């Protein structure tokens, strides 16, 4: 079973469940949302909100696929982009946090860890933008999805994936997740390995192989007779001697030694 996490775009927006695709609970203020549902096209309003947020702020949602099938999604953004964020008794959202508007897992895939996967994906994304925390309004009534106020995820879900209650309320408590809490030990290990591999010098990694190649390349060369002793035609010779089968030619410097001298000051070429 393959699982894949992708960003929400105008293309992947169509993979949201139909009910969620038409919902503008978060994207519009209560009056505008009611008007859009009654006389307009709420799906178009949602598409316009996603487009604006993507252009002005960046990625604002995640979708998870299981074997190519949409299995869940989440939406998030700064509270300034969410008119409904000020309509709760536990508002406002802290200034150093983004608002996790909603999270939803298709019932057929509940219990597979996809919710945690979505939250970790959001945490990695917003942490790169300098955000310190994620906050959300949870539903504490315990009702069925169709009975919950708006598009609130159960508060028990948020608490299960690491959120802490910062503003208690009997119906809509506000919860908060510090970003370092959202990154699992596996993510920390992967990050540490990336840092370790990135700090290694590529030359030190390849040096053993380089030495082996150099040694192997040098071995056949050693069996080839050394012809570097051959004296250039313009060199003046002062004498020759033989040592261990090799010809040794002494070349006297014309400025320092007379011809035929046996002084050790001469230069030798072999």
Taken in order 149, 150, 156, 158, the sign of the CA dihedral is negative
**Band of pLDDT at residue 196, cut at 50, 70 and 90:** low
With pLDDT > 70 as the criterion, what percentage of the chain qualifies?
64
Q: Domain ends where: 188, 203, 225?
A: 188
What is the domain range of residue 84?
3-188
The band of 92, judged by pLDDT with boundaries at 50, 70 and 90, is very high
Average pLDDT over residues 222-236: 46
Residue 103's CATH number: 3.40.630.30
Q: Is the pLDDT of residue 242 over 50?
A: no
Kindly report the average pLDDT of the chain as a whole number.
77
Q: Are residues 65 and 181 in the same domain?
A: yes
Alpha carbons 47 and 54: distance in angstroms, whole number = 11
pLDDT at 206 over 60: no
Same-domain pairing of 127 and 260: no
Which comes out higher in pLDDT, residue 243 or 152?
152
CA-to-CA distance for 161 and 175, rounded, in angstroms? 11
Tell me the per-residue pLDDT of 159-183, one tens digit each, with 9 for 90 and over: 999 999 999 999 999 999 999 755 5
**pLDDT value at residue 231:** 46
Distance CA 147, CA 145 (A): 5
What pLDDT does residue 165 have? 97
88 domain residue, yes or no: yes
229 within a domain of the structure (yes/no): no
**Mean pLDDT computed over 191-201:** 55
Q: Count CA atoms closer than 13 A to 91's CA, side-chain side.
A: 13
Cβ contact 29:79 at 8 Å: no
Q: What is the mean pLDDT of residues 101-106?
A: 94
Same domain membership, residue 38 and residue 131: yes
154 and 244 in a single domain? The answer is no
**Residue 182, pLDDT score:** 55
In angstroms, the CA 38 to CA 146 distance is: 19
pLDDT of amino acid 146: 55
Whole-angstrom Cα distance, residue 2 to residue 4? 7
Task: Please report the pLDDT score of residue 218 as a whole number.
Answer: 46
């Amino acid at each position: 079973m393959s699982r894949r996490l992708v960003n929400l775009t105008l293309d992947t927006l169509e993979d949201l469940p139909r009910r969620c695709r038409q919902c503008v609970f978060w994207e519009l203020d209560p009056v505008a949302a009611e008007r859009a549902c009654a006389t307009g096209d709420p799906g178009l309003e949602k598409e316009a909100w996603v487009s604006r947020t993507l252009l002005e702020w960046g990625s604002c949602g995640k979708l998870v696929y299981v074997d190519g099938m949409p299995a869940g999604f989440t939406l998030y953004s700064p509270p300034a982009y969410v008119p409904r964020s000020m309509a709760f008794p536990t508002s406002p959202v802290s200034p150093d946090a983004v608002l996790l508007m909603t999270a939803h897992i298709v019932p057929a895939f509940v219990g597979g860890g996809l919710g945690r996967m979505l939250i970790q994906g959001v945490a990695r994304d917003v942490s790169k933008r300098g955000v310190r925390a994620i906050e959300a309004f949870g539903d504490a009534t315990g009702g069925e999805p169709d009975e919950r106020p708006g598009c609130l995820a159960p508060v028990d879900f948020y608490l299960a994936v690491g959120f802490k209650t910062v503003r208690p309320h009997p119906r809509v408590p506000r919860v908060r997740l510090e970003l370092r809490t959202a990154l699992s030990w596996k993510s920390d290990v992967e990050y540490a390995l990336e840092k370790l591999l990135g700090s290694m010098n590529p030359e030190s990694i390849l040096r053993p192989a380089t030495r082996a190649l150099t040694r192997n390349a040098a071995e056949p060369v050693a069996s080839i007779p050394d012809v570097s002793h051959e004296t250039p035609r313009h060199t003046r010779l002062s004498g020759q001697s033989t040592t261990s089968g090799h010809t040794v030619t002494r070349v006297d410097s014309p400025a320092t030694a007379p011809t035929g001298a046996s002084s050790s000051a001469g230069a030798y070429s072999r």
